[in-house]
Amino acid sequence: MKVTVSMITLNEEGAVAKVVADIRRVVPDAEILIVDSSRDRTAEVAEELGCRVIKQFPPKGYGPAMDRAVREAGGDIVVTLDCDDTYPVEDIPKLVHLIDADFDLVNATRLAKRPKAMPFANYIANRVFAWTARLLHGIKTTEVHSGMRAYRKSMIDAIEWNANGPALPVDMLIIPHRRGYRVTEIPIEYRERIGASTLQRFRSTLWTFKRLWNARAVR
């Protein structure tokens, strides 16, 4: 099966070359797709390195960029990753194998144990989100916000979510689970980010609970 590694980028020129090189080393045959909304040279660097770059301007936020990044993937398997060097690229083959082994979605969780690179408040918030997801949806997860996952492309083609607004990764995990697709989880290491985070704590928390609550209607 053909693999696409999809990333979205907002001013990641300090990280993009390293992340792309790391991906190439691990999965040389994969398509690398980037949805870019940067003001810096991220897109130029990615294009020079042979990535497929889709430009999204004006920037529409994480959700619309991520939606585009998974829907436009050319592969049968789509692996998502932040372009900030926080996720272990060397684990991509593990995720791909699990899709090969008939799972439709593999969630890579950073919270199987407490990650040193994550602020304590974020850690507690993430635990509460995961616990709420278990309670409302019966999904055995420790993290609903991971940016590192593998999705079967045919599943994405069959599913809709509201891409506008923060916390889209919640819907991208919970809706497939509720629709009866085979979802599994593996633990990963989480590293310190290159560059600054775009996370807006308050809005993200609000939208996480909103998405978790609204997904009860999905069956």
Ligand X SMILES: Nc1nc2c(ncn2[C@@H]2O[C@H](COP(=O)(O)OP(=O)(O)O)[C@@H](O)[C@H]2O)c(=O)[nH]1
Interface residues with Mg ion (CB under 5 A) are: 82, 84, 86
**How many residues bind to ligand X according to rule CB under 6 A?**
20
CB of residue 100 to ligand X, shortest distance in Å: 26
CB of residue 16 to ligand X, shortest distance in Å: 9
CB of residue 163 to ligand X, shortest distance in Å: 12
Cα-based distances in Å from 183 to 73, 89, 99: 20, 20, 10
E-strand stretches of the chain: 3-9, 31-36, 52-55, 77-80, 105-109, 149-152, 183-187
35/155 with CB nearer Mg ion: 35
Stretch that binds ligand X, among 30-38, 123-131, 150-158, 171-179 (CB under 6 A): 30-38
Find the binding residues for ligand X in span 42-61 (CB under 6 A). Answer: 56, 59, 61
Find the binding residues for ligand X in span 130-159 (CB under 6 A). Answer: 147
2/201 with CB nearer Mg ion: 201
Give backbone dihedrals phi and psi of 152, rounded to 5 degrees, phi first. Answer: -75, 125
Q: Please state, in angstroms and rounded to a whole number, the distance separating the CA atoms of residues 135 and 214.
A: 14
Q: Does 167 bind ligand X (CB under 6 A)?
A: no
Find the binding residues for ligand X in span 65-94 (CB under 6 A). Answer: 65, 82-84
103/126 with CB nearer ligand X: 126
Question: Taking a C-beta distance cutoff of 8 angstroms, is the pair 86, 14 a contact?
Answer: no
| Tally of CB atoms within 10 A around 74 | 13
Q: Please state, in angstroms and rounded to a whole number, the distance separating the CA atoms of residues 90 and 149.
A: 13
Question: Taking a C-beta distance cutoff of 8 angstroms, is the pair 73, 4 a contact?
Answer: yes
Q: Does 10 bind ligand X (CB under 6 A)?
A: yes
Question: Taking a C-beta distance cutoff of 8 angstroms, is the pair 165, 176 a contact?
Answer: no
With CB under 6 A as the contact rule, the residue among 3, 5, 8, 155 that binds ligand X is 8
Which residues of this protein are in contact with ligand X, per CB under 6 A? 7-10, 12, 35-37, 56, 59, 61-62, 65, 82-84, 147, 197-199
